[in-house]
Structure 1
Amino acid sequence: MKKIVMAAGLIFLAGQLRAQTKENSKTMNNNSPREHYTFTLGETVTRQHVTFKNRYGITLAADLYLPKSKGNQLLAAIAVSGPFGAVKEQASGLYANKMAENGFVTLAFDPSYTGESGGEPRNIASPDINTEDFSAAVDFLGLQPFVDRQQIGIIGICGFGGMALNAAAVDKRVKAVVTTSMYDMSRVMAKGYYDKLTPEGRTKMLQQMGEQRWKDAQAGTPAPGPRNLPEKLTGNEPQFVKDYFDYYRTQRGFHPRSLNSNGAWTATNALSFMNMPLLTYIKEISPRPVLLIAGEKAHSRYFSEDAFKAAADPKELIIIPGAVHVDLYDKPDIIPFETITRFFRQHLEVATPATPAIP
């Protein structure tokens, strides 16, 4: 199975270098994109659409979730993003909603160049800029009069788990970090799944992306790669691809702005990740705590296990029995929200009255 997964992963990465494909504009419900969330807003929570800028001047779009019973005390806050290629109306919004139900101010944001956030060209990712997106979210939260800026944590899901760990390492304002189904995007793009990409294969990919840059420069716009997920499954895909399809391409998790539901990254998207390891300074998160959560049967499990080995104390690794990668996107009966809540309540202590109280 590992060989199948590895091969599929290499095909996926190499696919970013292939010819342009059309983006499907299909939607799977009658709601407008702004109204379409893949989860139900909690009865004890309010949601407000907000925007803020990161250090590069890119305007980020986000949803701010507040507990209705926040009272007159300053609250701890949590910024959430991910999965890689998803939008705030999907898994990150569900996490933010749940943590707001549990008493935190939460912010689910679209990363730069995707979703409703700004940045041109569209549909690209960056280990630097997407790490900065988390810090910009901390900027925003720390300016809110009902937030204790000394008590801010972050949650990264899937590929934004690696970005969250990188952000926590560089941004000392982050007091605690949680990842679920974590991917180290720089590692998987640079080395392939299970680090099986050969030096020759890496060289070939970089050469192809170099040639693609000339084509993009001549065209004046970057060409997209193939769709992140196919229109239909053939039945021969690895199980983890079928799992992704079951989330992103069905009513369960589809959103028209999500690249994984309805689009593609650019053909050269992998370029910066291949030479900028995200977890180089993971030990510098310490003495602030890290909680890593992965599914027992997740193809991505090894990323969390290796990050746990590399991180310094205090750290905690939780493996969810029987769970696959996407189970930790949207299944509250599997996602250990009680544990996540306990972790943040332990490490983000707030008891300072807010003056004045915010209605």
Structure 2
Amino acid sequence: MAADYKQNPFTLAYEGAITENRKGQVNIHPVTYQLHGLDIAANVYTPANYEAGKKYPTVVVAHPNGGVKEQVAGLYAQRLAEQGYITITADAAYQGASGGQPRNVDKPAYRIEDIHGMADFISQYAGVDASRLGLLGICGGGGYSLAAAQTDKRFKSVATVSMFNSGRVRRNGYVNSQLDTIQTRLQQATAARAQEAAGGPVLYSGDANLTDEQIAKLPFDLYRQGYEYYWKTHAHPNSTFKYTTSSLLDLMRFDATDQIELINQPLLMIAGSQADSLYMTEDAFAKASGTKDKELFLIEGATHIETYWKQPYVNQALEKLSQFYGKFL
């Protein structure tokens, strides 16, 4: 169903992806900018008949954990551009095509700063109306978007799709399945950091080359369908599940809902009714007490990963996002 990244000149890996920029249509503009001394690789999408002298509402799109800008974040960014928004999606620092060593550091503070950095860059982009800036976070990017929007009031409205609270999952396990090993895993993360500091090899977690049989036996839809999405149907060479084990020192003390009451902007949280990650969206939504305008929208029948690519579900999410940003941007 997806575009093959090898056949796409922009290496986009989603259905209906742009293959060339044409006058009068949605166009894609690969850009690079600096954030704390690192090169950040991003794609900016401009709407049909874009004119630099006009002013457009704009949406920053944060990608999932392990994802890159060419996958679901690009799909949502392109589809929003089709509705008249300028959009940007960037690879997180230390990940994808962005700079930073060692590779695949995954620290919440960095991921949150990536979102502030996208806002910095796109606010200066020709045609952007910085007073109408929205934020969309998908999966892990959704959790980090909730954290970024708590204090960054440039974002006038905040939406998440299939929000994933990375800290909670790294700490407690998915669906709280690893509560009895928290201290053991913290010891492993501590040892990994000590090894790095002593000049030893960087250790990684989360990386696995599983057989189809092993994938089929995974206990959760998110993991089974996630392997299918990231390794097969929508694979991209810059996308990987692995992250430095030492990142867990930061991840395991993070929670996307800490201080969530600071969000006073309109908030829309979208999730699949069949997603085994739904508990995280429901928890965050209940705790978001600081906003007068909040809505939880369930896509009937959808799992977490199906909101990334299954057209009927993507269409429902985008219709809801269009109404939301249309009202609040």
- Report what 1:273 is aligned to: 251
**How far does the alpha carbon of each residue in 1:91-144 deviate from its partner, in whole angstroms, 9 at most, with x for none?**
000000000000000001101110001111111111111101111101111101
The answer to whether the 8 Å contact 1:79/1:138 transfers is yes
For 1:196-207, what aligned pairs fall within 5 Å after superposition? 196-198=177-179, 201-207=181-187
Asked if 1:311 is matched to 2:254, the reply is no
Alpha-carbon distance in 2 for matches of 1:179, 1:228: 27
Instruction: Give 2:231's match in structure 1, choosing from 219, 240, 249.
Output: 249
TM-score by length of 2: 0.89
Alpha-carbon distance in 1 for matches of 2:252, 2:6: 40
- Report what 1:326 is aligned to: 305
Instruction: Give 1:294's match in structure 2, choosing from 244, 262, 271.
Output: 271
- Identify if the C-alpha distance between structure 1 residues 297 and 212 changes in structure 2 by more than 3 Å, giving closer, same or farther: same
Identity of aligned residues (%): 33
Alpha-carbon distance in 1 for matches of 2:322, 2:187: 46
The alpha-carbon deviation at position 226 of structure 1 amounts to 5.1
Asked if 1:38 is matched to 2:14, the reply is yes
Asked if 1:61 is matched to 2:37, the reply is no
The alpha-carbon deviation at position 209 of structure 1 amounts to 1.7
- Identify if the C-alpha distance between structure 1 residues 180 and 36 changes in structure 2 by more than 3 Å, giving closer, same or farther: closer
- 172-181 vs 65-74, which deviates more? 65-74
**How far does the alpha carbon of each residue in 1:307-347 deviate from its partner, in whole angstroms, 9 at most, with x for none?**
11011231110111110010111223212211101100111
The alpha-carbon deviation at position 84 of structure 1 amounts to 0.6
2:251 aligned counterpart, secondary structure? helix
Alpha-carbon distance in 1 for matches of 2:123, 2:325: 17
1:230 aligned counterpart, secondary structure? coil
Which 4+ stretches in 1 moved above 6 angstroms?
none
TM-score by length of 1: 0.82
Aligned length: 314
The alpha-carbon deviation at position 225 of structure 1 amounts to 2.9
Q: Which amino acid aligns with 1:333?
A: P
- Identify if the C-alpha distance between structure 1 residues 46 and 34 changes in structure 2 by more than 3 Å, giving closer, same or farther: closer
The alpha-carbon deviation at position 169 of structure 1 amounts to 0.6
The alpha-carbon deviation at position 69 of structure 1 amounts to 1.8
Alpha-carbon distance in 2 for matches of 1:63, 1:237: 34
RMSD: 2.0
**How far does the alpha carbon of each residue in 1:48-69 deviate from its partner, in whole angstroms, 9 at most, with x for none?**
1001223x33221100000122
Structure 2 unaligned regions, length at least 5: none
The answer to whether the 8 Å contact 2:108/2:144 transfers is yes
Asked if 1:172 is matched to 2:153, the reply is yes
The answer to whether the 8 Å contact 1:233/1:242 transfers is no
Larger RCO (CA within 8 A; separation ≥ 6): 1
